Homo-oligomer: A and B are copies of this chain.
């Protein structure tokens, strides 16, 4: 490729998602997914973040650090989960993670700006990022520019249908876990993390959220939690 540009992380996001499986497929669909943007030493200066509280939402431009890059010889089409995993569209007609340049875009809610002797930290809501994701840029979300009122997104026009979530055999955890943790688990399962072509009601899936492994099955638009296991790395 001509016109090469060297880009570097200006910070990293601490996220409850420690593995790829289960990460929301777009930002905002799991509001309980909270993370912290920790600037690198070079960008920890509060001046660089001055006045950011004026904005309720921010764009994160980030790098798909855990995915390999698209390479010569790779197919330039992908199968979006929203199309059932069968139909192919071009990589530029999707937001698939394996792309010519490994750039991700997310709108996140700015919950709080923490400023102390350690520098600046941004507390964010609705993230769709793996723990440790490198951030390349942060910009304010500006609705009059970013939200053309007549934008139509074809097969991705509406948010995916949500599953109901039932605790069943894991009910005892309803009293053991903090409400934010319960909300995070429920919202993460509700967005149906299964690969698009899976529909096996017997199959037990595991989603890793912080130090917890949530094991569940999906039957007829309902995610049933089977077991909660605490994992020690």
Q: Which residues of A contact B (CB under 8 A)?
A: 1-10, 12, 26-29, 40, 42-43, 45-52, 54-57, 59, 61, 63, 65, 75-77, 88-95, 99-103, 105, 107, 109, 126, 134, 136-148, 150-159
Contacts and interface: CB of A to CB of B under 8 A. Distances in A.
A2 B151 contact: no
A179 to B, nearest CB: 22
Given A27-B145, A89-B50, A105 B105 contact: yes
Contacts of A107: 145-146, 148, 151
A153 B136 CA distance: 21
A149 B107 CA distance: 12
Given A57-B151, A92-B137, A105-B139, 14 more contacts: A3-B9, A8-B101, A26-B145, A43-B92, A48-B76, A49-B92, A51-B93, A52-B92, A56-B148, A57-B152, A61-B103, A103-B137, A143-B151, A144-B156
B153 A3 contact: no
Q: Count this chain's copies in the assembly.
A: 2
Contacts of A148: 28, 56-57, 107, 109, 126, 141
Given A92-B48, A151-B57, A28 B105 contact: no
